[in-house]
């Protein structure tokens, strides 16, 4: 029997089946997510609102106003980050969730909250990457360099107010709110100050 005994058939692209279906994975934070938060939590507007609230106040009153104002700002910023972060999913987040589920949640600390912390800060600060100093199962540490909020407070409220770092309460609040959003115990503290070291450093430990 020769090959001529078999019927001939023309093959086209439809006959070629891929081994798998490609999926457009994204390993970066969604730009729309960041743009929304940048607009809703504009640093210059927040600093101006704080300056207005601080007008005529001093001493303990000013300290209390700063703590309350920025704690609310940081908490609201993280609440919005958590909300939008679930709406704008990416492959890296899906992988983190899958890994966390397979380890009964052990790998969630600090990786999952870190995603939302980075989104909150990258959307409001002039930085492309949030410098992470330490990332372990029991300790998470990052720095904020050339802080826009510090510069805005210095401009609108004066150097003395800026150097007192009322804005630290915003970063501390957003960090703890990120971990709390996933029922993960954490305590955050300020371990370096822009007014002294030239950058703010935040250290979070597992509880």
Rounded to two decimals, the pTM is 0.86
Per the listing, tokens 């940048």 go with 38
Between CA 103 and CA 45 the distance in angstroms is 42
Q: Which residue has the higher pLDDT, 26 or 171?
A: 171
pLDDT digit string (tens) for 47-62?
A: 999 999 999 998 899 9
**Using one digit for the tens of pLDDT, what is the confidence trace for 135-161?**
999 999 999 999 999 999 999 999 999
Size (the chain), residues: 207
> Could you say which DSSP state residue 90 is in?
-
The candidate with the shortest Cα–Cα distance to 168, out of 45, 71, 39, is: 71
Q: What confidence tens digit (pLDDT) does each residue in 155-191 have?
A: 999 999 999 999 999 999 999 999 999 999 999 999 9
What domains can be seen in the chain, in order of their start residue?
27-206 (3.30.1380)
Q: Both ends of the chain: CA-CA distance in Å? A: 78
Residues 195-200, mean pLDDT to the nearest whole number: 96
How would you class 61 by CB atoms within 10 Å of its CB: exposed for 0-12, middle for 13-18, buried for 19 or more?
A: exposed
Both tokens of residue 25?
């994975």
Looking at residue 8, what is its pLDDT?
Answer: 52
């Amino acid at each position: 029997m020769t090959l001529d005994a078999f019927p001939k058939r023309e093959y086209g692209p439809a006959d070629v089946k891929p081994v798998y279906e490609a999926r457009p994975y994204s390993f970066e934070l969604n730009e729309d997510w960041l743009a929304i938060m940048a607009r809703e939590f504009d640093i210059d507007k927040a600093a101006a609102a704080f300056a207005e609230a601080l007008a005529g106040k001093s001493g303990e009153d000013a300290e209390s106003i700063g703590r309350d104002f920025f704690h609310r700002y940081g908490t609201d910023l993280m609440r919005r980050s958590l909300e939008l972060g679930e709406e704008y999913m990416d492959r890296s987040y899906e992988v983190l969730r899958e890994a966390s589920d397979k380890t009964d949640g052990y790998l969630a600390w600090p990786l999952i909250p870190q995603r939302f912390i980075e989104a909150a800060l990258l959307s409001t600060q002039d930085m492309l990457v949030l410098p992470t100093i330490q990332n372990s199962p029991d300790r998470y540490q990052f720095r904020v360099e050339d802080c826009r909020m510090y510069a805005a407070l210095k401009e609108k409220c004066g150097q003395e107010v800026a150097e007192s770092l009322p804005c630290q309460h915003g970063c501390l609040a957003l960090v703890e709110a990120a971990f709390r959003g996933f029922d993960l115990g954490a305590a955050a503290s300020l371990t370096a100050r822009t007014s002294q070291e030239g950058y703010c450093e935040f250290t979070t430990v597992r509880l």
